Structure 1
Amino acid sequence: MKRWQKFSIYIGIVMIIGVLAGIFYVQRSTYTPTAAAIEAAESASKEKDVLFFEGEQKNPTILFYQGAFVENTSYSIWAEQVAAAGFNVYLLRQPLNLAILGQNSAEKIIEEKQLTSYIIGGHSLGGVIGSRFAHEHLGDERLKGVFFLASYPDKNGDLSSFDGSVLSITAEEDQVLNEEKYLEAKEHLPDYTLFEEIEGGNHAGFGSYGKQKGDGQAEITDEEQQRIVAAMIIRWASRLAD
């Protein structure tokens, strides 16, 4: 066997090992939904890996980007409650559960379902990516609002000129959210942004997937925090209803 052939085989083996190691890392790093979240998801329909909780067509549809390495089913508890209040909710699912790999996934739903009004939301990294999508669609009259769960926009998701509504929800015991970057990011938000904080809540409590590495200890349960999240979203989104 020639030297270059041996080298090609060696490179191929290294690449395969790298891919397998990457898959293993992602699997080990992924947060899976609790039994309560799985049960709540039973009220949703699955459409190409997207979870759809049906509300009412007259209200803006909510399109939600998951947090990094968090399965979208983990947000089913508050999504079910928001849908019960009259809002269609789509829990988007990106490749490898990383929103950064599927920034335009909301576009598919908007066009396929011919939405006449919609709201973009996201948790943690999902909020960053959601804001980038919103930034690219600032001229779209169908975009009524943007909300962040323990998240913020970066310069590529600047919303300072957005004339729609923006909601930012954080949690008192959140130790994952970068406080410095969160404060700096306020320059990318409209002056009229509504800021809310959940007493006793933490980062992982915006979903239901168990304890997250580096997070603070919550003083309330996941279910309690998500009831609060749902109530805040419903109250805010109701102002945007036609």
Structure 2
Amino acid sequence: MSDPTNVLSRTNDKPARRRWRKALYWTAAIVVVLIVGVLIALNQLTYVPKEEALAALRSGGGVTVAEQSDWTRFEPDSGEARQPAVIFYPGGMVEPESYAPLARAIAERGHRVYVVSMPFNLAMFGANRADGIIAERPEDRYVIGGHSLGGVFAARYAAKHPDTIAGAYFLASYVDEGGSLSDSAIPALQITGTKDGVMNTAKWEEAKANLPAETTYVAIEGANHSQFGLYGKQKGDHDPDITPAKQIDAVANALTAWMNKSGD
């Protein structure tokens, strides 16, 4: 004869298991809803490239453009690019295609340029993606940098790879303590705009302590934060006094001049 106590115990277990299943289902559903909500919010907050930026992604005019899963490469048609090659980390919440005009302008001046695509358009989730670029052409020399938040994480990469990186550059960006280059022999370039309404000037001034002794500073008159790329006016930014084309041309000239000087 079966023990009635055991039968009662098994009977009581069934409602408990059902309650646990329901709780797990509801927890899973809430997590899914939260993830979907975050992705929708990120999509709405993301700055997308203008048509002029998308047009710069087409090969032609002396520049070949090749898109890969983690980056887009811009290089002179001849394939004989000048050294060093340029690795570019986009600003936070800005789609990488927005920087195609700047990358093309640098490639027109003879350098190979890689614009990196970041997970969720945030460099913090893809800070080491330069690894794949360098592995593709280990014989090249590289400078790394980026715009705004992209520059912060480019600095962290440079700080961890002082024997691989030949220079670091920052467009409306700064170096935090996590990427300090103050004790590094790596040369650096800081490019800012006089009409930038987004970059925290106080933090930028404080962060100069994290830069190497060999740092070049360039301030572009009339340039704002948003026109380092072509994605429209960023929230909080000031109106520029120069056109996007003039700002991009000035940035490309300053970056190229610095690379030529650093390579001497």
User: Match for residue 7 of structure 1?
Assistant: 23
State the Cα distance separating 1:165 from its structure 2 match: 1.5
State the Cα distance separating 1:192 from its structure 2 match: 2.5
Indicate if the aligned counterparts of 1:61 and 1:115 stay in contact, CA closer than 8 A.
Answer: no
Structure 1 stretches lacking a partner, 5+ long: none
Structure 2 stretches lacking a partner, 5+ long: 1-14, 60-64
Matched, 1:45 2:66: yes
Counterpart of 1:21, as a letter, is G
State the Cα distance separating 1:48 from its structure 2 match: 1.7
User: Match for residue 151 of structure 1?
Assistant: 173
User: Match for residue 209 of structure 2?
Assistant: 187
- Return the match for 2:114 from 74, 79, 90: 90
Secondary structure of 2:88's match? strand
Indicate if the aligned counterparts of 1:174 and 1:215 stay in contact, CA closer than 8 A.
Answer: yes
Indicate if the aligned counterparts of 1:150 and 1:177 stay in contact, CA closer than 8 A.
Answer: yes
Mapped partners of 2:214, 2:22: distance in 1: 63
Task: Write the deviation string for residues 192-222 of structure 1: whole angstroms up to 9, x where unpaired.
Answer: 3111111111110110100111111111121
Matched, 1:19 2:35: yes
State the Cα distance separating 1:68 from its structure 2 match: 0.4
User: Match for residue 30 of structure 1?
Assistant: 46
Mapped partners of 1:97, 1:200: distance in 2: 27
Secondary structure of 1:5's match? helix
Q: Superposed, which structure 2 residues align to 1:98-109 within 5 Å? A: 98-109=122-133
User: Match for residue 174 of structure 1?
Assistant: 196
Structure of greater relative contact order (alpha carbons < 8 Å, 6+ residues apart): 1
Task: Write the deviation string for residues 123-173 of structure 1: whole angstroms up to 9, x where unpaired.
Answer: 0000000000000012x1x42110000001111100012212210001111
Secondary structure of 2:56's match? helix
Mapped partners of 1:26, 1:115: distance in 2: 38
CA root-mean-square deviation: 1.3
User: Match for residue 77 of structure 1?
Assistant: 101
Indicate if the aligned counterparts of 1:60 and 1:240 stay in contact, CA closer than 8 A.
Answer: no
Asked which structure has the greater CA Rg, the reply is 2
Indicate if the aligned counterparts of 2:83 and 2:140 stay in contact, CA closer than 8 A.
Answer: no
- Scaled by the length of structure 1, the TM-score of the pair is 0.95
Mapped partners of 1:108, 1:240: distance in 2: 24
Q: How many correspondences in the alignment?
A: 240
Give percent identity, aligned residues only.
39
- Return the match for 1:64 from 88, 96, 99: 88
After superposition, the Cα gap between the structure-2 partners of 1:66 and 1:116, relative to the gap in structure 1 and judged at 3 Å, is same
Counterpart of 1:48, as a letter, is S
User: Match for residue 163 of structure 1?
Assistant: 185
User: Which deviates more from structure 2 when the two are superposed, residues 40-49 or residues 185-194?
Assistant: 40-49
State the Cα distance separating 1:93 from its structure 2 match: 0.6
